Amino acid sequence: MTGKNAREQPLEELAEMFKALQDKAKTQAHVIKKFQKFIKSEGLFSHAVNCFPYPMAAFKYDGDLVYINNALSDKTGLSIADLSKAKHSILNRITDQNFQILDAVENVFLGETAFLSNLSDPLAMFIGDRSDKKISFPSYRNAVFFPILEDGNQITLGAALFMK
């Protein structure tokens, strides 16, 4: 390999990697847009969203939870009934290790979607105060935070979807 080719090859490899990152970001954005459309047409409280296999929560601007799906309830012991009995704000439960969640929650109401990775046990935010569960969920380290749009594309809620 000549000197010029030896210098160009790493740049070509980097260019390919950046292209792959761009493609991944486009795919993620496309998936979220489809999910937003689905929620808009079927409703947040639809059977399909409730049975979605990934833990999901919806929250108001102040961080108060208004909805959790079955997957999140099964993991944490928090139920929809708990949300109607007492306020449960995720903003009060953000740790130093998960401080990036605060920005994601705030930015959702500015219309932004955030893909977070390497979170430190984010599902622990959803374990109720009176719960005896002290379970850790180290495999759930990634999340996407996105706005939920109503008619007229007004942002009324934010959503968090957690992934392994």
Pair 39, 108: CB distance under 8 Å: no
- Mention every residue, 6+ apart, whose C-beta is less than 8 A from residue 111: 147, 155
Query: What pLDDT score does 132 carry?
Result: 57
pLDDT for 129 equals: 55
- 10-residue stretch averages of pLDDT, the chain, 164 residues long: 68 84 84 88 90 95 95 91 88 87 96 93 78 66 93 90 93
Q: What whole-number distance in Å separates Cα of residue 140 and Cα of residue 163? A: 5
pTM: 0.84
Calpha distance 43→112 (Å, rounded) = 20
Q: Where are the domains of the chain?
A: 44-163
Question: Is it true that domain 44-163 has CATH number 3.30.450.20?
Answer: yes
